[in-house]
A and B are shown apart, each in its own frame.
Chain A
Amino acid sequence: MNILYDEEIDGALSKVDRADLFAELRQAVPDLLILHREEDLHPYECDGLAAYRTMPLLAVLPERVEQVEAILRICHARRVPVVARGAGTGLSGGALPLAQGVLLVMARFNRILELNPKGRFARVQPGVRNLAISQAAAPYELYYAPDPSSQIACSIGGNVAENAGGVHCLKYGLTVHNVIKIEVLTMEGERLTLGADALDAPGFDLLALFTGSEGMLGIVTEVTVKLLPKPRVARVLMASFDSVDNAGKAVADIIGAGIIPGGLEMMDKLAIQAAEDFIHAGYPVDAEAILLCELDGVELDVAEDIERVRAVLDKAGATAVSLARDEAERVRFWAGRKNAFPAVGRMSPDYYCMDGTIPRRHLPKVLRGTAELSEQYGLRVANVFHAGDGNMHPLILFDANRPGELEKAEELGGKILELCVAVGGTITGEHGVGREKINQMCVQFNVDEIGFFHAVKAALDEHGLLNPGKNIPTLRRCAENGAMRVHQGELPFPELERF
C-alpha cells in the first residue's frame, strides 16, 4: 500500500486556498520568510526517506517564537495542517510534507542560548545541530551524550521529536534521558514549559510524552539538555566470530558479567565486507560476525574491564580479539561501523534501512528468519546491530530502477519488522514511525491501543492538525491494509512464542 497521504484512508483535510493563506500570513507576520514558488519548495519535498516526496502548500521559515505562534494561530483558525521540520535528516518520513499543509521549517532557530558548565546544562534553540552542542561544551570537558549517526547534521528539535538514540544508548540513554526541559507551542499557539531546570517537575510527565511524539503534540521552540563530563578514556576491543550465534552469546555474557560497555556493536559478514572495502578499518573479512566493544570511564576501571571482557570473549568462542592500540586505531575501528550504511550503499544502487528492536536473546532466531526472507525475496540483507540494546539495522539491498524492486524491498522490510514484533520487540527503536512504518503500527498495536493513542493526541491537538497521518495510523488504515490478519487467527510466524 502506498504510504503517501490518502484522504480516503488517513482522514479528510480541509481545502485551503494557497493565495489566501499566503496573504494572511504575509499580513500577520510581515517579515516572515514564506516559500511558495515550486522551485523554492523543491528542496523541502522530502526528508531522509527520499523515496517519498510531496510538495508542501507553503513552507515557512520563522526565526522568532512570536512568528511561530502567529503561524500556528492562523493555521489553527483555518484548520490548516502543520508539518514541522528540523534538518530533514529523519529516516522515517516524519517530516514528509502534505500537499494541503504548511511546512514549518525550524532550521533558522540555530542559536545556543546558554551553556552553563557549573549547572551542566545547555539551553539551545531547536535548529541547533546535535554535534554543535558537544563542540560548544568541549572546552569545559563536557558533552551531550546521544549521538545519532547523523549528528553532524541533525537538529536537536528533531532529536526530541524522534527520541533519537545512537551507539552509546545502553550506558548513556536516549534523548528522553538527556533532555531536562523543553519549551513548546501547542497547535493553538499556547506556550508550555515541560520539565524544569530542576530534575523533576510537577504534574504529568508531559516531557516524556512529547519526546518521540514526532511533531504530533506540539512544536518545540527551545531545548535544555543535560551535559556530562567526558569519560577520561575510551578503549575499544574488536572480536571475530565464526558464527553469529556465538557473537550473540558473547554479548549476553558481557552483560551477564556486570559490565555495561559504552558501545557494543555487531556486524555480519556482508556488512563487514562492505565496510572493509570502503574504509579499510582492518576488519577480518572472513569472519561471520564481529563485535566492537567500547569501554569508557576512569583509566583504572577501563583497564580492569578490558581484561574481564577479553576473558568473556575468549570463553564465548571468539576466533580473534584485538584491542585498538591507540586513539587512531580506535577511531578506525569505529569508522567502519559508522560508515556501514554508505559502505553498503557502494555495493548496491539502493538500500533500505530497517530499525526493529528485539530482546537480545532472540537475535539468532531473528537473523535466521531474516536470512530466509532474504533468500525468499531474492534481495541481499546486510546486518548491523546495536547489540547492547537490541536495536537492529538490517540493510536491504535493491535497485529502484528495476520495476517492482522497491515494493519488494519494502515488503521484505515489513516482514522483518513483523518478525521483530513476534519475538516481543518493536518496529522502531530510534528512527520513528513517521509515514514509513505507519502500516506496521497496526501489527504492533491492537485497535484499542491505537484508539488510546488517538485520545492522547486529541487532548493536545483537538482537530488533528499537527503532522496528520504520521506516527499513529487511523483505524481505517489498519482495517484496510490487511495487517488485521493478526486478529483473524492467522498469526505471522506461528511457531514463535507470543509476548
Chain B
Amino acid sequence: MTMEARDADCSEALLAQVCAALATNTPVQIQGGNTKSFYGRVSAGTLLDTRRHRGIVSYDPTELVVTARAGTPLAELEAVLEQAGQMLAFEPPHFGAGATVGGMVAAGLSGPRRPWVGAVRDFVLGCRLITGNGKHLRFGGEVMKNVAGYDVSRLMAGSLGCLGLLTEISFKVLPKPRSSLTLRLDMDANTALLRFADWGQQPLPITAACHDGEALMLRLEGGEGSVKAARESLGGEEASPAFWTALREQQLSFFTDSAPLWRVSVANDSRPALPDGTQLIDWGGALRWLKTHADAAAVRGAAVAAGGHASCLTPGACDSPLHPLPEVLMRYHRQLKAQLDPQGIFNPGRMYAGL
C-alpha cells in the first residue's frame, strides 16, 4: 500500500499555480518526469511540476477503462494494468523511469503496435484540464462512445501542453493477447517492404513489424491457434520480445550513431527517397527512423513526397524540430491557441515558434 500512500489529489494546488501565472502574465513550463525534453522546442517559463498530482482515480478491468492523474508514473499505471492482464495497447515509449501519464499524452507518441491498434489519441476517452481562463474542466468521460460536444480530450493528445494543463486522463485499455511470439526473418529491407504490403491485406495476427537494417523482426499476437498457424506459415526463428522494448525506448544500437535522429512518418506503401544516412523501418513501413547529417529541407522534402512529415529528435540540430505547417493551417493553430490560452501562458513556443 506504499504506492497508494503517495497518491494525492493536488489539483487545487495546480489550479492555484496556473491562476497565479495568469495574474502575473508569466508563462509556465509544464513538466512531469522530464523524460521528453528532447521532443519539440525549448519553452521558457516558470517550472510547473505535475508529479505530486498522482494516483489511479478509478479502474474497473471489466469496463476496459482506467482513469489516472497526470503526474502518475507511467510505469505505475502499466504495472496496475498488468496485474489485471490488461495493457495500454498503443505501447507508449517512456524514455526514462520518471515518465508520467500526462507527459505521455501531451507528447502523443505511440510504440511499435500503433499501426495495428491505434495511437495514444485513439485510446483517450476523457480528460480534466486546467484552462487558460483558470478553470478546471472535464471533457469526454469514461465511456467508449461519446459525441457530446467537441472532442477536446483527443485534441489534447500530442498538443505538447500548449492548450492547457492536463490533470486527469481516462483511457480505453485492452486485454493482453493470450499468446505472443517474436520472429526474426533474414531478408533485406526491400523484400520486407514488399511483404508488409502483402501481409497487410491478410488477416494475420501481426502486431509489430520492423526492419532493423539487417533482418525483419515480426511480432505475432492473438490466440494460441492463430499465432501458431502464422508462425508456421511465415517461417523464421524465434527471437526475444525484449527487442520491442529496446526499439520503443530507442535503445537499439542503431540509435547510438552520433548523427541527428529523424522521425519520418510516411504512407505505409510509399518508398520515400530519403537522403543518405542509416535507416530503421518500423510500423510495417509507415515509420522511418533516420540518422543523417543531411539538412532539414532534404529530409522533409522526401517525407512530404511520401505523404508524410519529419521531426528531428536531436535537440539543437534543427530550428524547427517539429515539421512546419502550411501557413493557412498555422493561422488556425494560432487562432485556436489564442482562444484557449488567450494570455499564452502554457508552454509557449514548445511546438512552434509563436504558438
Chain A contact residues, CB within 8 Å of chain B: 116-120, 140-142, 162-163, 165, 169-170, 173-174, 176-177, 186, 190-193, 196-206, 208-209, 211-213, 216-217, 229-232, 252-253, 255-256, 258-260, 297-301, 303-305, 357-361, 386, 388-391, 424-433, 437, 441, 444-446, 448-449, 451-453, 455-460, 471-472, 499
B contact residues around A118 at 8 Å (CB): 197, 200-201, 269
Instruction: Add 16 more A-B contacts to A199-B119, A390-B145, A453-B150 (CB < 8 A).
Output: A119-B197, A120-B269, A162-B147, A176-B122, A197-B270, A212-B147, A212-B151, A229-B202, A298-B203, A298-B226, A301-B223, A390-B63, A441-B149, A448-B133, A459-B340, A460-B335
Asked if B223 and A300 sit within 8 Å, CB to CB, the answer is: yes
Q: Which of A253, A424, A459, A471 contacts B338 (CB 8 A)?
A: A459
Contact of B309 among A170, A202, A358, A448 (CB under 8 A): A202
- Cβ-neighbour of B145 out of A213, A259, A389, A499 (below 8 A): A389
Assess whether B154 is interfacial by the CB under 8 Å rule: yes
- List chain B residues, Cβ under 8 A from A427: 148
A residues near B131, Cβ cutoff 8 Å: 448, 452
The CA-CA distance from A444 to B140 in the complex, in Å, is 10
Contacts of B226 in A (CB 8 A): 297-298, 300-301
Kindly provide the distance from the CB of A405 to the nearest chain B CB, expressed in whole angstroms: 27
Interface size on B, residues (CB 8 A): 87
Other-chain contact of A471, B119, B142, B149 (Cβ < 8 Å) = B149
Distance in Å: Cβ of A179 to nearest Cβ of chain B: 11
**Are B339 and A186 in contact, CB atoms less than 8 angstroms apart?**
no
Min CB distance A449 to B, Å, is 5
Evaluate contact between B333 and A176: CB separation under 8 angstroms: no
Tell whether, in the assembled complex, residue A432 and residue B137 are in contact, meaning their CB atoms are under 8 Å apart: no
Contacting A at CB under 8 A, from B190-206, are 197, 200-203, 205
Give every chain B residue within 8 A of A191 (Cβ-Cβ): 328
Q: Which of A173, A260, A426 contacts B148 (CB 8 A)?
A: A426
Listed from nearest, the 5 A-B pairs whose CB atoms lie closest are A300-B225, A197-B307, A301-B223, A198-B308, A429-B145
Whether a CB of chain A sits under 8 angstroms from the CB of B163 is: yes
Q: Would you call A301 and B225 a contact (CB within 8 A)?
A: yes
Which one of A165, A301, A360 lies within 8 Å of B62 (CB-CB)?
Answer: A360
| B3-11, B45-53, B172-180 - interface stretch | B172-180
Q: Is the CB of B339 within 8 A of A459?
A: yes
Q: Does B31 contact A (CB under 8 A)?
A: no
Is there contact, CB below 8 Å, between B268 and A119?
A: yes
Partner of A357, one of B133, B145, B149: B145
In Å, the complex CA distance between A451 and B333 comes to: 19
Contact of A208 with B146 in the complex, beta carbons under 8 Å = no
B222 adjacent to A445 (CB under 8 Å):
no
State A109–B184 Cα separation when bound (angstroms).
Answer: 46
Which of chain B's residues have a CB closer than 8 A to the CB of A437?
A: 148
Complex-state Cα separation, A196 to B305, whole angstroms? 12
Q: Name the A residues within 8 Å of B223 (CB-CB).
A: 297-298, 300-301, 304-305
Residues of B contacting A199 with CB < 8 Å? 114-115, 119, 265, 268, 283, 286-287
User: In the complex, A230→B204 CA distance in Å?
Assistant: 11
Residues of chain B within 8 A of A141, CB atoms compared:
201-202
Q: List 13 A-B contacts (CB under 8 A).
A: A118-B269, A120-B201, A197-B267, A198-B308, A202-B322, A204-B163, A258-B176, A305-B223, A425-B141, A433-B149, A452-B137, A459-B336, A460-B332
| Distance, CA A334 to CA B200, complexed state (A) | 29
Say yes or no: is B229 at the interface (Cβ < 8 Å to chain A): yes
Evaluate contact between A213 and B150: CB separation under 8 angstroms. yes
A186 to B340, CA, bound (A): 19
Measured CB to CB, the residues of B under 8 A from A are 60-65, 85, 108, 114-115, 118-119, 121-122, 131, 133, 135, 137-139, 141-152, 154-155, 157-159, 162-163, 174-176, 178, 197, 200-203, 205, 222-226, 228-229, 265-270, 283, 286-287, 306-309, 311, 322-326, 328-330, 332-333, 335-336, 338-340, 351-352
Given known A202-B323, A455-B340, contact A449–B229 (CB-CB < 8 A): no
Are the CB atoms of A425 and B143 closer together than 8 Å? yes
Centre residue among B108, B147, B202 by max chain A CB count within 10 A: B147
B residues in contact with A169, CB < 8 Å: 144-145
- Report whether B85 and A258 are in contact in the complex, using a CB–CB cutoff of 8 Å: yes
* Shortest distance between the CB of B193 and any CB in chain A (Å): 10
Q: Give the distance in Å from the alpha carbon of A13 to the alpha carbon of B157 in the complex.
A: 35
Q: How far apart are the CA atoms of A205 and B308 in the complex, in Å?
A: 15
Contact of B63 among A361, A431, A455, A472 (CB under 8 A): A361
A142 contacts B201, C-beta separation under 8 Å: yes
Asked whether B158 lies within 8 Å of A298 as measured between CB atoms, the reply is no
In the bound complex, residues from chain B placing their C-beta under 8 Å from that of A198 are: 265-267, 286, 306-309
Contact: A212 with B283, CB < 8 Å? no
* Chain A residues whose C-beta falls within 8 Å of the C-beta of B205 in the assembled complex: 298, 301
Residues of A within 8 A of B115 (CB): 199
A200 near B151 (CB under 8 angstroms)? no
Of all chain A residues, which has the CB nearest B268? A119
Identity of the chain A residue whose Cβ is nearest the Cβ of B352 in the assembled complex: A203
Q: Would A119 and B309 count as touching, CB distance under 8 A?
A: no
In the bound complex, residues from chain A placing their C-beta under 8 Å from that of B306 are 198
The answer to whether B63 touches A429, judged by C-beta atoms less than 8 angstroms apart, is no
Is A173 in contact with B142, judged by CB distance below 8 angstroms?
no
Docked CA distance A95–B304 (Å): 36
Q: Taking CB as reference atom, which chain B residue is nearest A457? A: B150
Q: How far is the CB of A223 from chain B (nearest CB, A)?
A: 16
Set of chain B residues within 8 Å of A186, measured between Cβ atoms: 332
Q: Is the CB of B340 within 8 A of A456?
A: yes
Neighbouring A residues of B137 by C-beta, 8 Å: 446, 448-449, 452
> What B residues does A217 contact at CB under 8 A?
150
CA distance A430 to B143 in the complex (A): 12
A196, B307: Cβ atoms under 8 Å? yes
Query: From residue A216, how far is it (CB to closest CB) to chain B in Å?
Result: 8
Most buried by A among B137, B144, B152, B339: B144
Q: CA separation between A281 and B130, bound complex, in Å? A: 51
In the complex, what residues of A have CB within 8 A of residue B148's CB? Answer: 426-428, 433, 437, 441, 444-445
Which of B60, B108, B335 is the one whose CB lies under 8 Å from A361?
B60
Question: Is there an interface contact between A426 and B62, defined as CB atoms closer than 8 Å?
Answer: no
B143 near A389 with CB under 8 A, answer yes
A55 to B229, CA, bound (A): 60
A120-B155 Cα distance, complex, nearest whole Å: 25
Among A117, A200, A216, A255, the residue within 8 A (CB) of B265 is: A200
B residues within 8 A CB of A386?
Answer: 145
* Distance from B258 Cβ to chain A, minimum over Cβ atoms (Å): 26
Bound CA–CA A200/B283 (angstroms): 12
Whether A448 touches B150, Cβ cut-off 8 Å, given contacts A118-B197, A199-B265, A205-B159, is: no
Write the chain B residue with the least CB distance to A191.
Answer: B328
In Å, the complex CA distance between A197 and B149 comes to 27
Residues of chain A contacted by B121 (CB below 8 angstroms): 205, 208
